[in-house]
Amino acid sequence: MRSRRKFLTMFFASGVPLGIMGYAICAQEQTKPPARPPVKDKDDDPEEPRIDSKAMLEANQKDIKKNIERLFQLASELKAEVEKTDSVQVLSVAMIKKAEEIEKLAKGIRSRAIG
C-alpha cells in the first residue's frame, strides 16, 4: 500500500509541474494570423489583358440566341415525334434522348443568362 501511495505521489508530483510548464510554453507561442497578400488594384497590372465587358456580353447574348433557336428546333421535333407515336404504350429511346438534350440545353441557357 505504501509503494502504491509513493508511486502515485511521485507520479502527480512530477506530472503536474510538467503539465503547467507545457501549458506555459504553449501560451507563449501564440500564433499570429497569416499575413494577407497585398490587394492589387485592377488598374495597377499593365500585363493583364483587358477584357471588354461589352463585347463579352454581346457574344454571350449571341450564344444565348443561338441556343434558344436550337432549343426551339429540338422541342418542335420532339413534339412532332410524340404526336406521331402512341406514347402511352411506346416510349422510344430517341424521344428520351431528345428530351435530355433539351433539358441540358435549357440548363446551359439558364446558366448563361444568370451570369
Q: Is residue 16 part of a domain?
A: no
Q: Is residue 86 part of a domain?
A: yes
Q: Is residue 112 part of a domain?
A: yes
Q: What pTM was computed for the model?
A: 0.51
Q: Is residue 77 part of a domain?
A: yes
pLDDT at 11: 62
By C-alpha distance, which of 78, 110, 79 is closest to 97?
78
CA angle 111, 114, 115 (to 5 degrees): 90
Q: Is residue 30 part of a domain?
A: no
List the domain range (segments joined by +) for residue 85: 52-115
Q: Is residue 46 part of a domain?
A: no
Query: Given a cut of 70, is residue 78 above it in pLDDT?
Result: yes
Q: Is residue 6 part of a domain?
A: no
User: How many domains, in total, are found in the chain?
Assistant: 1
Quick one: angle between helices 53-84 and 93-114, nearest 10? Answer: 160
Q: Higher model confidence: residue 45 or residue 81?
A: 81
Q: Is residue 32 part of a domain?
A: no
What are the pLDDT digits (tens) for 13-29?
666 565 666 666 655 56
